[in-house]
């Protein structure tokens, strides 16, 4: 008897984008610092993302696996709370 082996296809893990939301209180400099510190963006890229958040209401900081995205959201929210800023950071399916 011959048993055929089915090749299993493993799906790549679902990816999530981390998004910062605009508010009227968090200083632009703080948003740039968050982008540099937690998302390894250079000053120019961080400034461009910050301006996108400012003008469009939201901006994608990066795309990560679920666990990494969740950790980044928590780190950003903790930093915002420490700084006394209402900055909101969310993750959503990419």
For helices 28-39 and 43-56, give the axis angle rounded to 10 degrees: 130
pLDDT tens, residue by residue, 25-84: 999 999 999 999 999 999 999 999 999 999 999 999 999 999 999 999 999 999 999 999
CB 94 within 8 A of CB 17: yes
Instruction: Name the one residue in this structure whose structure tokens are 């048993």.
Output: 3
Predicted confidence at residue 3, as pLDDT, reads 67
pTM strictly above 0.85: yes
* Number of domains the chain is built from: 1
Residue 68 sits in a domain of what CATH number? 3.30.1390.10
Q: What are phi and psi of 82, to 5 degrees?
A: -60, -40
| Residue 89 belongs to domain spanning | 24-93
39 found inside a domain: yes
Structure tokens at 81: 């709370």
């Amino acid at each position: 008897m011959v048993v055929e082996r089915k090749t299993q296809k493993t799906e790549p893990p679902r990816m999530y984008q981390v998004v910062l939301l605009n508010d009227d209180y968090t200083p632009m400099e703080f948003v740039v610092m968050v982008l540099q510190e937690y998302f390894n963006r250079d000053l120019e890229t961080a400034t461009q993302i910050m301006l996108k958040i400012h003008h469009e209401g939201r901006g994608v900081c990066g795309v990560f696996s679920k666990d990494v995205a969740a950790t980044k959201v928590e780190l950003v929210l903790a930093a915002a709370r420490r700084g006394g800023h209402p900055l909101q950071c969310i993750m959503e399916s990419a």
